[in-house]
Amino acid sequence: MPDQTGPTPDPFVNATLALSDDEFFALYGPWTPMAPEEVGEMLSGIPDRPECHQVWMRRDARSPWRLELLIDRASTAEEWVFKRDHSVRVPWDRALYQLGRVTYLRPELALLFKAGQDREKDREDLAAARLTPEGREWLAVTLERLGNARWAELTRRTHLPVNRNPTSHRT
C-alpha cells in the first residue's frame, strides 16, 4: 500500500461530510449504538473483504444503525498507524486499553478521525471524551502538527472528567 500523507480524496466521503446532522440522519437513518459484547457476538465468523474500509450495521432497512466499524489497513503488527497520515504512529501497547473483556483504541487516537469535521456530533464527541491529561496533550500536539490548529485549541479547552482507566493495555 502506498504511503499516504493527508486525507484520501474521495468525492463520496467529502459529500457526506458536507451534510448537516439533520441531512445526514434523514439520508442514513438514526443510530442506536451496540454494546461491545454484542459486536463481538455478531461478527464472529465473518471474514472482512480487502477493499472494505468501513462497515455500518443494522438489523434491517427500517431499523436504526447500531454499529460503525472502521477497518484498519494501515497499521502493522508493531504499531497503530493513522490511515490519513502515516507519519502518526503509536506502539500498540500505548494505542490500546482494556475495559472489562473489551479492548479499545485510546480515545485520543479515535478522535483524530473526527478532527476538522465541522459536525455537531464530532464536536460533542470531543467534548464528551474522557481523556487523560497526557492523552489530551498528545492529541492537541498531533492536531497542530497535522495543520488543524482549531481542533487543537478545542481539545485544550475541553475540561471534562478524566478517564483514569485506560492504563490496562491489551495483552
Over residues 53-67, the pLDDT tens digits come to 788 888 888 889 988
Give residue-wise pLDDT tens across range 118-146: 788 888 888 888 899 999 999 999 999 99
Give residue-wise pLDDT tens across range 45-98: 777 877 777 888 888 888 899 888 777 778 899 999 998 899 999 999 999 988
Does the pLDDT of residue 40 top 80, yes or no? no
Does the pLDDT of residue 112 top 80, yes or no? yes
How far is the C-alpha of 107 from the C-alpha of 84, rounded, in Å? Answer: 17
Q: What pLDDT score does 159 carry?
A: 60
Does the pLDDT of residue 161 top 50, yes or no? no
Produce one character per residue of 10-38: b if its CB has 16 or more CB atoms within 10 Å, e if not.
eeeeeeeeeeeeeeeeeeeeeeeebeeee
Residues 54, 60 contacting (CB under 8 angstroms): no
Q: Is residue 114 helix, strand or coil?
A: coil
